[in-house]
Structure 1
Amino acid sequence: MTETLFPETRLQPIHSREGSSTKAIAVIPGKSNSVHIRDIPLQDIKVELIGLDGTDREINEGLYGEAPKGEDFLVIGHESLGIVERVGHKVNSLKRGDMVVCTVRRPDGCINCQAGEFDLCLDGNYMERGIRGYHDLLAEYYSEEERFLVNVPEVLGVLLEPASVAEKAILTAFAVQERMRWEPKTAMVTGKGGFRAYNSHATENKRL
């Protein structure tokens, strides 16, 4: 429905088809209860489902949040499931109709960010969709670079975020123990709800 998914490796501004717009829900950062509906340029990925959490509530309360440079509003909603409607000619891993989840953090120039470990940023100059300096996904459509989109099966969908948290926790535990011989046979899973279920499933996949 719009022009392209950004194929470049650097962060790009919002891209749109001239004269077309879509609805989005935004706030005025720092202003309590400023949530409102506004028009933004029409983009490439159709939003199917959105998850709202405490982060979005606190941003609307004015506790934190930062608008993109040169703008006074911030589109919120950083957990989303979307369907690709159009891609650029340099996009290799996605096609029209693919179901995607967009990652939140955008890297700065530190060595960890450049290695793809955005959550371990050393310099703190990163941006985050819907939180810090970059619009988010609570809209009818959005655009993003190919490298920040995760192609997911329909069965996983918006459950990707809690599943990824569980998977990363287990991978990190195993990575830390690589300094010695470690062949665990059992695991204790704590917590409740979805995270406990995902952790249990992930540990089963490790044959624990």
Structure 2
Amino acid sequence: MRALTVDAGVPGSLSLRELPDPDPREGPVLVRTLSVGLCGTDEDIVRAAMGAAPPGSAHLVIGHENLGRVLSSADDALRQGDLVVGFVRRPDPLPCSACAAGEWDMCRNGRYTSRGITRLHGFARDRWRCSAGGLLRLDGRLARSGVLVEPASVVAKAWEQIERISSRAHCDHGRVLITGAGPVGLFAALMATQRGFETHVYDVVPAGTKPELVEALGATYHRTPVADSRLAADILVECTGSPPVIAALLGLGGPATITCLLGMSPGEAVMPVDVAALNHRLVRLNGVVFGTVNANRRHYESAADALLAADPAWLDRLVTRRVPIEEYARAFHREAGDVKVVLEVDEQACQLLS
């Protein structure tokens, strides 16, 4: 079968190679991959900035954003033809207290594995296997947009955490400020508007698909730097990972403001920060700043529900390019206007969905 792989620790080693079919010992459910979404994590893996191959393997099959159909199942929980998405992170083998409770996204000892990222092959291959517990069956209406469930699940987790923090006091939150109009920022805006919040999104792109997608949600798109913002927002969601943007965001907000950090900062950045002023502001105003990553089954389910409630045409526009897996190099070459790029692994099946 075909698989898109990198050689462990070798920058620029991305290649499409032939691998044996998945070992039945990997799980009773055999899945045919339909499509795989690409993100900054995949780019980091290709340039060997992160990623770890499974034990005993010299290469790693990449791809963590996924959509597939069940080819066969020895587990009664799933049937042939079911539309599914595979969970990325899997519990550590001990397991720790969090993994044992099904909260593998909060693993305490770091011994988890992540498909296509950390010590476990990913989904950018024709077929893969796992247990029924490693899959979520999707509504057939997500046959075209289900590849977005995984990235949306990370945002669904963020909103769950925001709502939990909000419950600590009587917080009448009504305005959300989001930095970044990439897929994560757009999903944050989608879920904010679905919750009835007044939503504002800041990005540097002056025109095109990003501002159009934001405005289609009924949200407001801002082309000015967030550092110049005069909005008094109750919830701040940072989706860029840009150190200057993060620094500016930490200076915003009023009483009981919740700041969620979703963007991963690339490389290193040294910036002057007035820690005393930041501490004074957070303590005096009961502010909260927290980071979040990954997702568990509950968040995948919430993400699927959010996508089902969204306008299908809006989701279609978010995926700006669909590229056959044979042309993977083109998919990794960024083009003007890109928002989300998807590799079509089973191109014929994907064409039937269009």
- Give the number of the structure whose residues are more often helix, by fraction: 2
Greater shift, 59-68 or 96-105, is seen at: 59-68
Match of 2:183 among 190, 194, 208: 194
Give 1:1-208 correspondences, 5 Å limit: 22-36=1-15, 37-42=17-22, 44-88=30-74, 90-92=75-77, 94-108=78-92, 109-152=95-138, 153-208=142-197
Q: CA 1:191–1:105 in structure 2 vs 1: closer, same or farther (change >3 Å)?
A: same
Greater shift, 57-66 or 118-127, is seen at: 57-66
Q: Which amino acid aligns with 1:191?
A: G
Percent of aligned pairs with the same residue?
A: 33
Q: Is the 8 A contact 1:49 1:158 kept in 2?
A: yes
Q: CA 1:191–1:87 in structure 2 vs 1: closer, same or farther (change >3 Å)?
A: same
Taking the aligned partners of 2:156 and 2:34, their CA distance within structure 1 comes to 24
Q: Is the 8 A contact 1:163 1:195 kept in 2?
A: yes
Q: CA 1:28–1:64 in structure 2 vs 1: closer, same or farther (change >3 Å)?
A: same
Taking the aligned partners of 2:72 and 2:123, their CA distance within structure 1 comes to 17
Report how many aligned residue pairs link the two structures.
185
Q: Is the 8 A contact 1:45 1:86 kept in 2?
A: yes
> Cα deviation per residue 1:20-46 (whole Å; 9 max; x = unaligned)?
xx1212222012222231222157111
1:186 is displaced (CA, Å) by 4.2
Taking the aligned partners of 2:5 and 2:65, their CA distance within structure 1 comes to 15
> Cα deviation per residue 1:112-146 (whole Å; 9 max; x = unaligned)?
11112222111111111122211111111111221
Q: Is the 8 A contact 1:24 1:40 kept in 2?
A: no
1:62 is displaced (CA, Å) by 2.7
Taking the aligned partners of 1:25 and 1:52, their CA distance within structure 2 comes to 12
Normalised by the length of structure 2, the TM-score is: 0.48
Q: Structure with the greater relative contact order (CA < 8 A, sep ≥ 6): 1 or 2? A: 1
Largest Rg, 1 or 2: 2
Taking the aligned partners of 2:190 and 2:66, their CA distance within structure 1 comes to 23
Q: CA 1:86–1:179 in structure 2 vs 1: closer, same or farther (change >3 Å)?
A: same
Q: Is the 8 A contact 2:37 2:148 kept in 1?
A: no
Q: CA 1:60–1:180 in structure 2 vs 1: closer, same or farther (change >3 Å)?
A: same
Q: Which amino acid aligns with 1:24?
A: A
Normalised by the length of structure 1, the TM-score is: 0.78
